[in-house]
Amino acid sequence: MAPHASIVGPFPPGADRVQYDRLRRRVLWRLTTGLYLFGTRAGARRNLMTCSLVTQLATDPKLVGVSVERAATSLALAREGGGFALTLVDRADRAVVRTFAKPAVEDVPARTLSGRAYEDAPVTGAPVLAGAAAYLDCRLEREVDLGSHVLCVGEVVDAGFGGAGEDVAVLRSEDTRMSYGG
């Protein structure tokens, strides 16, 4: 493979491609984002995945978008299950970001994923982390192929706050030292 073959264009005219790639990545990392868990379920199989590429897309209908790596287990589960649940994470619970940056280990009798208790979202049945600040339960409305990622467009079919109510602060990317994307 040619050196730096994986550096993605386009490039400004005359730019040093390697330096520009590093600069562009640092700028992209500054986009302000939240940190969420993308909960998916196909039958008895559940997963929770850390995600930051999440935003509301429309107000009528109520659409949210989550951009998911095309090879992620979560994408296959969302397709099979026809939906997903987004956990809005309590800011005090930032350790979950690392826990769910790899495929979750499910313990069906204990009802845990990677040692953390979950609840099933009311409509799709996809998992929501117990102790979540809030959740959005979404029917998979469509997919948009974006290359490295697939945008999962979900229509919100149920939403709610966790037991602590509306005053809980929600986790954001700047609360951790981890970067994604770029």
Ligand X SMILES: Cc1cc2nc3c(=O)[nH]c(=O)nc-3n(C[C@H](O)[C@H](O)[C@H](O)COP(=O)(O)O)c2cc1C
Choosing from 20, 24, 42, 69, the residue that interacts with ligand X (CB under 6 A) is 69
| Tokens 């030292």 -> residue | 177
Greatest extent of the chain over all pairs of C-alpha atoms, in Å: 60
Closer by beta carbon to ligand X, 14 or else 43: 43
**How far, in Å, CA of 96 to CA of 37, rounded?**
9
Binding track, positions 33-52, relative to ligand X; x by CB under 6 A: --x-----------x-xxxx
Q: Is there binding between residue 68 and ligand X (CB under 6 A)?
A: yes
Closer by beta carbon to ligand X, 20 or else 94: 94
CB atoms within 10 A of CB 146: 12
**Count of residues touching ligand X (by CB under 6 A):** 19
Q: CB 28 → ligand X: shortest distance, Å?
A: 13
**How far, in Å, CA of 20 to CA of 28, rounded?**
12
| Tokens 């994408």 -> residue | 75
Q: CB 154 → ligand X: shortest distance, Å?
A: 14
- Asked whether the bond before 127 is cis by omega within 30 degrees of 0, the reply is no
Binding track, positions 85-104, relative to ligand X; x by CB under 6 A: ------------x---xxx-
Q: Across the beta sheet with 116-120, what order do the strands follow?
A: 106-107, 112-113, 116-120, 127-129
Binding residues for ligand X (CB under 6 A): 35, 47, 49-53, 67-69, 72-74, 97, 101-103, 178, 180
